[in-house]
Homo-oligomer: A and B are copies of this chain.
Amino acid sequence: MSSAPTVVAVCGSVREESTTRTALEYVLRAAADAGAETELLDLGEYDLPVYDPDADVQGDEEAVKRIVREADSIALGTPVYHGSYSGALKNFHDYCGWDEYEDTTVGLLATAGGGSYGSTLDHLRITVRGVHGWVLPHQVGIRGASSEFEDDPDAPDGRRFVDPDLEERVEKLGRMLVEYAYITPDVTTSRAAADDD
């Protein structure tokens, strides 16, 4: 545990200009500042056909799964499409399983064009539980995402946050992915208990 944890951010939007990806770059910067090795997994740059359980290996499946498996913490970011996560993100998620998510800490972020992101974050939380990832209680939803950023060539992904409170919430997600990268049984406690018996 003395080594730096690896934090991977998965961007569930394939748009050229994605507020989801910009926000995730802030998550990763905060994680790096807290000592992590970081990587952006931009789904637009990988070939992941619609998941077919019957197929042997599809597209970049192996590469993507290895990245997730080797991560200590994962940030899942998605745009809100019809009140839930994007098909792109779920399709990625369908490729991964218990092997990929075991002992992995997961942070959630959703960006909404309009006003509501609650269902999206809930659906993410539930489907990550389905593969037994550890989802952080802290999560980030961004309403009216396109107006929450201003161009700034020096900022991550070329855009800065308009609202510093929101930026702080996003950065907190990055820090917590580092701080809670290694959630493990408190073995001493159980063993001490066993000795008492």
Q: Which residues of A approach B to under 8 Å, CB–CB?
A: 1-2, 4-5, 14-16, 33-36, 43-44, 48, 50-54, 81-94, 97, 115-120, 122-123, 125-135, 137-139, 141, 143, 175-176, 178-183, 185-190, 192-194, 196-197
Contact = CB atoms under 8 A, between A and B. Distances in A.
Contacts of A179: 185-187, 189-190
A83 B1 contact: no
A59 to B, nearest CB: 11
Identical copies of this chain, number: 4
B2 A188 contact: yes
A27 to B, nearest CB: 15
A35 B193 contact: yes
Contacts of A132: 137-138
Contacts of A2: 188, 192
Contacts of A86: 51, 90, 94
Contact of A88 (B50, B123, B181, B196): B50
A50 B193 contact: no
B125 A52 contact: no
Nearest to A193: B35
A142 to B, nearest CB: 11
A114 to B, nearest CB: 10
Nearest to A143: B115
Given A15-B54, A90-B91, A118-B120, 12 more contacts: A1-B189, A35-B189, A82-B94, A82-B97, A82-B128, A85-B90, A118-B122, A119-B119, A176-B185, A179-B189, A179-B190, A180-B186
A104 to B, nearest CB: 10
Contacts of A16: 54
Contacts of A180: 183, 185-186
A33 B94 contact: no
A87 B92 contact: yes
Contacts of A50: 14, 43, 48, 87-88, 91
